[in-house]
Amino acid sequence: MSSVSSVSGIGGVSGIGGVSGVSGISSVSGGGGGGSVWGRHRGSLHAARRRGGRALALSLAALVGVCLCTSTRARAEGKLSSAAVQSRPPVDTYEWTLAAGLLPLDAFKKGVTASGALTLHYDHLWAWEALNASYSFEYTTSLEEELRAFTLQATPFERVRGFVTSSVVFKPLYWKGAWLNRDLSYGELFFVAGGGYGWLTQTSRPAVSGGAGVRVLHGEAWSSRLDVRWLSFVNADDAQGELWITLGVSL
């Protein structure tokens, strides 16, 4: 290629993969100027992941604050009568979960996960997700092929292969509602925090995790759940963050 200016006009193409897609582009033309231009963007993917983790943490903190403020205000005004509060149904000790999920942050290669978990419920408020084991299948997007047409390639980043975690579960909110004024619906909001270990494409690292989820109870036999968690795989050199979204069924 003649110079970096000859490829600087392809921003519309590199933007196809989203914000993180731009960050993972580097020039292979061999020109010194091109390498410096694309080199400045190599850290943007990590910055985007850090911003995503901070945004998730702030959202969870705001949700907890709203729940606490609403409960405190209602108690102060004497609005919680015995008619408005109903005891939760009995909770099974063991909850077995199968779930499918997505690691969506990498614009070049997404992770499609399959996971299984065992949760021990001690009471209506606390539980322990003793083990959550997941494997990630790599799904390649079309962005890399589009970049090769301009003699560009993605900067190699590590990608998640699999991980195991163990977490504490806090279940502060339970509800009972009516679906279309015909069927009753039961559910709970929960928060999780824990750690584990992950295997990436080049290294294996300890991991910390946290997030929230919603579980909808379908009678006594089974339930469905949506989890949104942030995973950080840490070693001595850096920390790689991943957003993890799963939809599962529990027995």
Can you give the CATH number for the domain in which 168 is found? 2.40.160.20
Residue ranges making up the domain that contains 195: 8-250
pLDDT at residue number 10: 38
Q: Report if residue 1 sits inside a domain.
A: no
pLDDT at residue number 33: 45
Q: Report if residue 226 sits inside a domain.
A: yes
pLDDT at residue number 9: 38
Global pTM exceeds 0.75: no
Q: Report if residue 2 sits inside a domain.
A: no
Buried b (16+ CB within 10 A) or exposed e, 18-41: bebbbbbbbbebebeebeebbeeb
Q: Report if residue 14 sits inside a domain.
A: yes
Query: Is residue 140 within 8 Å of residue 108, measured between CB atoms?
Result: yes
Residue with the bigger pLDDT between 174 and 58: it is 174
- Number of domains into which the chain is organized: 1
Q: Report if residue 3 sits inside a domain.
A: no
Q: Is the pLDDT of residue 41 over 60?
A: no
Q: Is the pLDDT of residue 226 over 80?
A: yes
Q: Report if residue 57 sits inside a domain.
A: yes
Q: Report if residue 29 sits inside a domain.
A: yes
Q: In this predicted structure, which of 2-16, 75-89, 235-249 has the lowest mean pLDDT?
A: 2-16
pLDDT at residue number 82: 47
The vertex-111 CA angle with 109 and 113, nearest 5°, equals: 165
Residue with the bigger pLDDT between 57 and 108: it is 108
pLDDT at residue number 198: 98
Buried b (16+ CB within 10 A) or exposed e, 79-98: eeeeeeeeeeeeeeeebebe
Query: Is residue 199 within 8 Å of residue 240, measured between CB atoms?
Result: no
Q: Report if residue 16 sits inside a domain.
A: yes
Q: In this predicted structure, which of 38-52, 144-158, 170-184, 213-227 has the lowest mean pLDDT?
A: 38-52
